[in-house]
Amino acid sequence: AIEKTFLMVKPDGVKRQVIGDIIDRFERRGFVLRGAKLMNVPRELAEKHYEEHKEKPFFNELVDFITSGPVFAMVWEGENIIKLARVMMGATKPEEAQPGTIRGDYAVTISENVIHGSDSPSSAEREIKLWFNDELV
Ligand code: CMP
């Protein structure tokens, strides 16, 4: 089915100037960009975004990191994109991220891992609403 998902280049990816490469990878796959913005993340938005991790020991580190510099928030659309984007991103654990994936090509730590992508249809819906109200084309 045609789906929408929320993807975000994290502060490390913005600093390393890989936004263009990331957009290129998704466009080459045939996915369509529906919304995008470069933005600083208010702490309240970061905490809402990561609310499922509220009880984890790394929650504060996560919020500190995502608010440490601008992110590039995006909504993408395409066939089965929620799952396929996760495959293109690569695994969260650096030792499991295959070369050729975004994380496998760029990241060596679990926290500074360049990109976020919604992990299910329900989180995609929630995250798109949270980051883009009615701003999609
Ligand atoms: P993401 O999938 O964007 O959302 C949850 C994030 O938690 C994940 O990326 C990782 O960057 C981060 N994360 C997961 N496990 C750890 C950990 N043990 N220490 C720090 N960050 C973590």
CA angle 23, 114, 56 (to 5 degrees): 135
Point out the annotated binding site for ATP: 10, 58, 86, 92, 103, 113
ipTM of the complex in this document: 0.89
User: Listing from the earlier edge strand, what are the strands of the sheet with 32-39?
Assistant: 32-39, 71-79, 2-9, 115-117
- For ligand 1, what atom is nearest to the CA of residue 112? 11
Atom of ligand 1 nearest to the CA of 116: 3
Q: Helices 81-89 and 19-29 meet at what angle, rounded to 10?
A: 130
Q: What is the pLDDT of residues 52-108, one digit of tens each?
A: 999 999 999 999 999 999 999 999 999 999 999 999 999 999 999 999 999 999 999
Domain range list for the chain: 2-131
Half-sphere exposure of 137 (CA within 13 A, CB side): 8
pLDDT of 38 > 90? The answer is yes
What would the two tokens of residue 54 be? 């509220």
Measuring CA to CA, how many Å separate 82 from each of 12, 88, 101?
Answer: 22, 10, 15
Over its C-alpha atoms, the chain yields an Rg (Å, rounded) of 14
The rounded distance, in Å, linking the Cα atoms of 36 and 57 is: 31
Instruction: Give residue 137's pLDDT.
Output: 86
3-class DSSP state for residue 28? helix
Topology classification of domain 2-131: Alpha-Beta Plaits (3.30.70)
Q: Could you report the per-residue pLDDT of 6-19, keeping only the tens digit for each? A: 999 999 999 999 99
pTM to 2 decimal places: 0.96
Nearest CA to ligand 1 atom 21: 111
Cα(81) to ligand 1 centroid in Å equals 21
User: Is any atom of ligand 1 closer than 6 Å to the C-beta of 92?
Assistant: yes
Name residues whose C-beta falls within 8 Å of residue 54's C-beta, 6 or more positions apart in sequence.
Answer: 47
pLDDT tops 90 at residue 48: yes
pLDDT at 20: 98
